Chains A and B, each alone.
Chain A
Amino acid sequence: MSYRELVKRIPHAMYERLSEKLMDVLLEAKGGGDVPSSLAKTILYYWQRDQLASEAGLVNLLQAVEIADPEGATAVLDEFGLEEVKLALRPAER
């Protein structure tokens, strides 16, 4: 399942808080250097326009956090009660 499809399963009301939380994880992640430069620049593009809490912003954030700190991504999805999204992200954990 694509990240866009995953994000579509997240209620809109959560977008703002979720993007904040994912960004916090991304900024502190030890694996930040593994995030491809093109993805990092896309995130900056959305941040510059204050659109990280949009669907497209979240798609890129979720993807980056999954690369930089997979455990952090899981913890955030757990915190928001997004079990379905978590399982879709990691089918092996079903």
Chain B
Amino acid sequence: MRSFGIEFVPMELYWRTTYYSIQAERLGYDNIWITDHFNNRNVYVSLAVIANYTDRIKLGPGVTNPYLVHPVMTAQSVASLNEVAPGRVVCGIGAGDRTTLDMVGVEMKAPLRTVREAVEVIRRQLAREKGGYEGRVFRTAAGARFNFKVQNPIPIYVGAQGPKMLRLAGAIGDGALINASHPDDIREAVRHIRRGVERAGRRVEDVDIAAYTSFSVAESEKKARKPVIPVVAYIVAGSPPSILEKHGVSTEVADQIRSDLANRRWGEAFGAVDSDMIDAFAVCGTPEQCTEKIDALFKTGITQFVTGSPLGPNVRGAIDLFGREVLPHFKES
């Protein structure tokens, strides 16, 4: 099975995100993932509007986190969304972004345990289990359950980047969302996910493994590469030394980019992003180049490819180009 997802960041007005979602559904995308950050528009309001204007495409948060949103509320949100879009809802959850959590004074404690327990709480809530839950991070009393039934299964995807979280995703997720773009990183991530699957005694076919990439497509390579520069600057600034070293990026350069971004010196920060960094942290190029790169990524064992932001120099044009010139290569093969 090969499927395609698209990520939208609800920085845009709701009707623009919805317009692009209708367009993506029409062109053959399978999944819509909406990011969840406190400083953007609310993920579930965005999803509810999109659900109203689409008929087939699956949709869900990609990803929410259990630090800012208690898992009983995540369960309630996706269950309610499922009434608007029956059988089309998926739920992506991860540890979140440390920088964003810091901004609101929330500490990212015990991420593995927190995500594991959050997934358990969400599943129990969706199943309307009567008994309470006694975890180390989350607790619910007996009888703390919905007053309404959830008619369809809601697959839970675990967003992951590091080896331990990737293995956890394989062990407990209906799907895994790999936060990476380079084939070497994704190949390694798939290995970790499979290890998690095996240790949990599950079948790898039962887990949808998605590469959640920074993506940009345009008619020319130059036009495609330009919009990913700011995204790559943030990725470099936020990557651990092991990842930087693997891709030949010095920690000094990354520190400088981080400092420039923190001090809003955009020109310096974005100017420090070189071609190798773009190749390491984004999938971008002409439709032919993107097709080739995506083909290589599917060979690593992923089952879903997600075109994450920025998508291209012009979002509508990029979705159209991808739908017309890249998707058919995979959907028809």
Contact = CB atoms under 8 A, between A and B. Distances in A.
A40 interface: yes
Contact of A44 (B26, B53, B315, B316): B53
Interface residues of A, number: 16
Contacts of A40: 13-15
Q: Say whether chain B's binding surface is mostly helix, strand, loop, or mixed.
A: helix
Interface in A13-42: 23-24, 27-28, 32-33, 35, 37, 40-41
B316 A23 contact: yes
A27 B22 contact: no
A44 B19 contact: yes
B2 interface: no
A33 B13 contact: yes
A45 B18 CA distance: 11
A80 interface: no
A9 B264 CA distance: 50
Given A23-B316, A44-B53, A32 B19 contact: no
B16 interface: yes
A2 interface: no
A48 B55 CA distance: 10
B316 A48 contact: no
Interface residues of B, number: 13
Contact of A47 (B14, B19, B315): B19
Nearest to A20: B316
Contacts of B22: 44, 47-48
A40 B16 CA distance: 9
A45 B316 CA distance: 18
Interface string B141-178: 00000000000000000000000000000000000000
Given A35-B15, A50-B26, 8 more contacts: A24-B316, A27-B19, A28-B314, A37-B15, A40-B13, A43-B15, A44-B19, A48-B53
Interface of B: 13-16, 18-19, 22, 26, 53-54, 314-316
26 contacts: A24-B314, A24-B316, A27-B16, A27-B19, A27-B315, A27-B316, A28-B314, A32-B16, A33-B13, A35-B15, A37-B15, A40-B13, A40-B14, A40-B15, A41-B15, A43-B15, A43-B19, A44-B15, A44-B22, A44-B53, A47-B19, A47-B22, A47-B53, A48-B22, A48-B53, A48-B54
